[in-house]
């Protein structure tokens, strides 16, 4: 399955939830500091476990960084 | 005896019902390390710190995170929409920011020009309207325009954040009269954002009667950011107290401070 992850193509094996994607990428699931959007929709953290990604999904994974 | 150490004890800075003791807000951009940022925050006495929302680096998801250093239970982590050039981008970024911070506060920035980083007021107002409807506490970065400031208040923004001079310019206060007009025009807090170059730029701004001040680059680019943070803490207090104390009128010519009568050796 091919998704667009933070603007770049990413290939995933089989069915993958947001939670699993974070695990694959080695991104820590932080209650404060992390957010994920799929096709422009922000997905609440409570749904990461069950939200299955689909072919062609545009996934944005963001965090909080220094800024003014 | 007058408790002069605690003159500002009852002078509470309130935004959208949340009370703060410090009127200084700091940014978290451009510091050498998270550790330095944390020390600057502590030294400044600020209770609000701004952050940006950015893509996680997928090829190297850094283990270290700003939030390992700054406790969101102790400080208000105020996310911004920096880098957005349209209302749509800013609204989408605000949505991500809400999920990332767990709070509905947003420092709304919609930039209109890369060179000056001045705000696009039309797009900012458009984004603010949407975000207010979505239940956000919206603090928009705005031009020092009293007419627009009133519009932001009227649509339900929790504060207005006019610039003193362009972001990162360090030019300090450029148009005190517009800030005075803004303060007169709105009843929501006026927080001067952008342009502060040093602690010494702060008192003249605070003395105008504005409610708070935000600074980032002046701290991060100071030779000693910790010393600058302490200087800014006191500069903010000095400016606020000077405003509350009320300055003497300005005169063209000198007026002696000592009595004219009884000067010795006079014929």
Percent of chain A, pLDDT > 90? Answer: 84
Q: Is B202 helix (H, G, I), strand (E, B) or coil?
A: helix
What per-residue confidence (pLDDT) applies to B169? 92
Q: In whole angstroms, what is the distance from residue A32 CA to residue B110 CA?
A: 24
Interface residue ranges in chain B relative to chain A, Cβ cutoff 8 Å = 27-31, 37, 50-56, 58, 61, 63, 65-67, 72, 77, 79-80, 82, 92, 95-102, 167-168, 194, 214, 216-217
What per-residue confidence (pLDDT) applies to B34? 92
Q: Answer yes or no: do B95 and A37 touch at CB < 8 A.
A: yes
Decide if domain B21-245 falls under CATH 3.20.20.70.
yes
Beta bridge partners of B191: B212
**B8, B241 Cβ separation under 8 angstroms:** yes
What six digits make up the tokens of B139? 């603090």
Using a CB-CB cut-off of 8 Å, the residues of chain A touching B39 are none
The yes-or-no answer on residue B150 being catalytic is no
Strands A34-38 and A58-66: antiparallel
Mean pLDDT across A37-66: 95
The ipTM (two decimal places) reads: 0.94
> What confidence tens digit (pLDDT) does each residue in B157-199 have?
999 999 999 998 999 999 999 999 999 999 999 999 999 999 9
Q: In whole angstroms, what is the distance from residue A3 CA to residue B92 CA?
A: 20
Q: Is the pLDDT at A19 greater than 90, yes or no?
A: yes
Question: 10-residue block means of pLDDT along chain B (267 residues)?
Answer: 75 95 95 94 97 90 81 95 96 96 97 95 98 98 97 98 93 94 97 96 97 97 97 96 94 93 89
- Which residue from A minimizes the CA distance to B26? A68
């Amino acid at each position: 399955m091919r998704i667009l992850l933070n603007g770049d193509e990413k290939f995933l094996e089989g069915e993958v939830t947001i939670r699993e994607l974070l695990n694959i990428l080695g991104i820590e699931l932080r209650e404060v500091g992390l957010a994920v959007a799929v096709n422009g929709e922000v997905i609440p953290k409570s749904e990461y476990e069950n939200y299955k990604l689909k072919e062609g999904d545009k996934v944005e994974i963001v965090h909080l960084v220094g800024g003014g | 005896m007058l408790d002069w150490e605690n003159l500002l004890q009852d002078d509470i800075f309130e935004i959208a019902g949340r009370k703060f003791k410090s009127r200084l807000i700091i940014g978290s951009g451009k510091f050498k390390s998270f550790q330095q940022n944390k020390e600057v925050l502590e030294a400044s006495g600020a209770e609000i710190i701004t952050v940006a929302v950015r893509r996680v680096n997928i090829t190297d998801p850094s283990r270290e995170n700003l939030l390992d250093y700054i406790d969101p239970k102790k400080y208000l982590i105020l996310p911004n929409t920096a880098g957005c050039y349209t209302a749509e981008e800013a609204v989408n970024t605000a949505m991500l920011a809400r999920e990332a911070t767990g709070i509905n506060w947003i420092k709304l920035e919609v930039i209109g020009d890369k060179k000056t980083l001045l705000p696009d007021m039309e797009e900012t107002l458009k984004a603010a309207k949407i975000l207010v409807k979505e239940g956000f506490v919206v603090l928009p970065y705005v031009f020092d325009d009293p007419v627009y400031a009133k519009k932001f208040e009227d649509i339900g923004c929790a504060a207005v954040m006019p610039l003193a001079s362009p972001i990162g310019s360090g030019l300090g206060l450029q148009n005190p009269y517009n800030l005075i007009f803004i303060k007169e025009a709105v009843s929501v807090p006026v927080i001067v954002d952008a342009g502060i170059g040093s602690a010494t730029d702060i008192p003249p701004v605070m003395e105008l009667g504005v409610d708070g001040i935000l600074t980032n680059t002046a701290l991060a680019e100071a030779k000693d950011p910790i010393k600058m943070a302490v200087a800014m803490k006191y500069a903010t207090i000095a400016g606020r107290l000077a405003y509350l104390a009320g300055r003497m009128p300005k005169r063209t010519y000198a007026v002696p401070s000592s009595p004219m009568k009884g000067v010795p050796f006079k014929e």
